[in-house]
Amino acid sequence: MALTGIDVSQTASAARIVFEALRKAIVTGELKDGDPLRQDAIAQVFNTSRIPVREALAMLEQQGLVRNQRYKGAVVTGLSIEEAGEIFEFRCLVEAHVMRAAVPRMTPEIIATAHAICEEFAVEQDPMRWGDLNRAFHGTLLAASGLPFHVSTLDSAMDRLDRYLRAQLLLTDGQNRANGEHRAILAACARGDADAAAELAVAHVRGANAALRVHLARIKAGFGQS
């Protein structure tokens, strides 16, 4: 199983630790769509009982990252093209609102931090870091909104998409496109133009949706031919 074990036998928050480790493995693609999540095996990796594992799987199911299948138990949830489109459209609606709230509250320090992330993203050679930096960029700007529930909800939506977006960034020209679009969003934020920043953010998200739809369609076609 593609997990790094941690001894949580003496830890009060064992379920949370198992949840975070499994979530990270799913989001980064270490655990693939349809991979089984066997409670006994996971409990052995983390040196704990099945109870916190069961609780962790329940939390993952609430986030849509895991589902229970008859006769199979818990498995990593795949995402259809239609589901991805719905999540992206939800993200457009919420992120535009949050961005408009965030821009008037952005400090020079926030702009500088986002700029540094852009610079790192532009030169990063490790594809596994692209997804982290992409989320760090968006999170840095949106956190200024003072709308923590909205930001948390967007973060959960990103969890559903992240492993696909990482693959899309790698297999298409996604890094260069995202870098240019990030810089345009940041420029609008820096000049205090909330409407432009929101519109550019929505265009950025919809562009990623279009690229991901092509990527998912290719995956589906590939599976159909095998």
**151 found inside a domain:** yes
**183 found inside a domain:** yes
pLDDT score for 70? 80
- 137 in the same domain as 54: no
- 85 in the same domain as 57: no
**2 found inside a domain:** no
If DSSP codes are grouped into helix, strand and coil, which group holds residue 74?
Answer: strand
Lookup result for tokens 């909800």: 153
- 91 in the same domain as 68: no
Domain boundary among 76, 92, 120: 76
- 106 in the same domain as 42: no
CATH number reported for the structural domain that contains residue 123 in this entry: 1.20.120.530
- 172 in the same domain as 143: yes
User: What are the residue ranges in the chain where pLDDT is below 50?
Assistant: 10, 224-226
Identify the burial level of 2 via C-beta atoms within 10 angstroms of its C-beta, where 0-12 means exposed, 13-18 middle and 19 or more buried: exposed
**217 found inside a domain:** yes
How many domains does the chain divide into? 2
- 103 in the same domain as 202: yes
- 87 in the same domain as 71: no
Q: Which domain holds residue 92?
A: 81-225
- 161 in the same domain as 102: yes
CA–CA dist 28, 133 (Å, integer): 13
Cα separations in angstroms, 16 against 56, 88, 147, 187, 222 = 6, 27, 24, 38, 36
**92 found inside a domain:** yes
Domain boundary among 56, 76, 96: 76
For the chain, how many residues are written? 226
Residue 79 · residue 42 · CB < 8 Å: no
**9 found inside a domain:** no
Cα separations in angstroms, 165 against 105, 149, 215 = 29, 23, 9
Query: Side chain identity at 27, as an amino acid letter?
Result: V
Identify the burial level of 221 via C-beta atoms within 10 angstroms of its C-beta, where 0-12 means exposed, 13-18 middle and 19 or more buried: exposed
Cα separations in angstroms, 9 against 18, 22, 24, 41 = 11, 17, 20, 15
**170 found inside a domain:** yes
CATH number reported for the structural domain that contains residue 45 in this entry: 1.10.10.10
SS3 content of the chain, % helix, strand, coil (to 5): 75, 5, 20
**44 found inside a domain:** yes
CA–CA dist 139, 136 (Å, integer): 5
Domain boundary among 31, 50, 76: 76
- 125 in the same domain as 44: no
- 171 in the same domain as 138: yes
